Amino acid sequence: MDLSQALEIASHTDPGMVRSNNEDSIASVPEKGIVVLADGMGGYNAGEVASGMATTVLTTELRQQIEAHAPEEVDPQSGQKAATKMLQQQIAKANASIYQAAQTQPQYAGMGTTLVVALFYDNKVMVAHIGDSRLYRMRGDEFIQVSKDHSLLQEQIDAGMLTKEQAKGSSNKNLVTRAMGIDPAVEPEIHEYDTQPGDIYLLCSDGLSDMVNDEDIGMTLQALGANLNLAVQQLVQMANDNGGRDNVSVILIKILHEYPAGEGLAKKLFGWFR
């Protein structure tokens, strides 16, 4: 089914104020409900190669997969949703491609990328992430960070060594504990959430979340939620006004109305009796 009427998507990526090149990469396929953001690292221009590969492989492959199977289908044997399997397989594929390129081509040695993917289907969103690129959700007045970073800082917070406040002052912000393209296999973290009309989802690289605090991001979405393009511009501008030390990428997705799956025969029949 076509989701482009149910989802409003706006995005922007900017090199920031300090870096000359942009190693972030973003992509979306609104009609299939696919949104991907990757923050590359390593080498001269290799970071953007890694992030570009991740977003390209995932959008093209996921699009094909969704055309072939409905993501909400449940596999009777494993009890898993098709979406979970698709994400796992395609992330593995993208990871293998990046790893292969990094191993075989000297100019790409050591490249890698973080990833956050959101797949919208059947009034739900499935989120897969690796590293410190994040997904946030604004629902009503509540603005929360949905994904939990795979980073040294997050591990220290979990271990009780640091509070979230203290983490802002840490010098170890730049260390991720998981990334694509570094090892032959990678384990993404995948979760599914229900969506509601009016929800706004934010995917961003650490160039936003490190430069602008969560309250200000939430305030911006609250104030400018009616105009997603402006909200995206404003978020990037705030990151740059605060120093823009890293590439900044922002994708906003607003749920305009419900998008239940199964507009099939069963539902049509049911519809007659109402």
Partner 1 sequence: MAKLILSMDGLVLKEIPLSKERTTIGRKPHNDIQIDNLAVSGEHAVIVTILADSFLEDLGSTNGTFVNGKTVKKHFLQGNDVIELGKYKLKYISEALPGAAKAADFEKTMVLRPGAMKKPPEPPPAAAGAATPQAATVPTGAKQAQAAAPAAASAAKSHSDTQVGITAASVGAAAPAPRRAMLKLLSGGNTGKEMELTKPLTTLGKPGVQVAVITRRPQGFFITHVEGANKPVVNGKAIEQQAHALNDHDVIELAGVKVEFFFKS
**Under the criterion CB under 8 A, does residue 13 sit at the interface with partner 1?**
yes
Tell me whether residue 113 or residue 146 sits nearer to partner 1 (CB atom). 113
Least distance (Å) between residue 145 CB and partner 1: 16
Contact between 261 and partner 1 (CB under 8 A)?
no
Q: Interface with partner 1 includes 149 (CB under 8 A)?
A: no
d(CA 162, CA 151): 13
Who contacts 73 (Cβ-Cβ below 8 Å, separation ≥6)?
Answer: 81, 82
Q: 92 is written with which tokens?
A: 């593995």
CA angle centred on 107, ends 41 and 13, rounded to 5°:
35
Binds partner 1 (CB under 8 A): choice among 1, 70, 85, 100:
100
Q: How far apart are CA 143 and CA 229, in angstroms?
A: 19
Residues 6+ apart with CB under 8 A from 230: 224
Q: Point out which span in 66-74, 76-84, 116-124, 155-163 binds partner 1 (CB under 8 A).
A: 155-163
Footprint of partner 1 on 177-206 (CB under 8 A): 177-179, 182-185, 187, 198, 206
166 scored as a contact of partner 1 (CB under 8 A): yes
Residues in contact with partner 1, shown as a per-residue x/- string from 69 to 88 under the rule CB under 8 A? --------------------
Amino acid at 153: L
Residues 222-241 interacting with partner 1 (rule: CB under 8 A): 222-224, 226-230, 234, 237-238, 241
Q: What gap in Å lies between CA 226 and CA 134, rounded to an integer?
A: 22
The residue within the footprint of partner 1, chosen from 171, 266, 270, 274 (CB under 8 A), is: 171
Q: How far apart are CA 62 and CA 27, in angstroms?
A: 12
Q: Round to whole Å and give the CA distance between 209 and 206.
A: 5
**Is residue 15 part of the contact set for partner 1 (CB under 8 A)?**
no
Residue 138 sits in the site that holds partner 1 (CB under 8 A): no
Report the site for partner 1 in 20-59 (rule: CB under 8 A): 21-23, 25-30, 36, 39, 41, 45, 48-49, 52-53, 55-57, 59
Alpha-carbon distance of 7 to 11, in angstroms, equals: 13
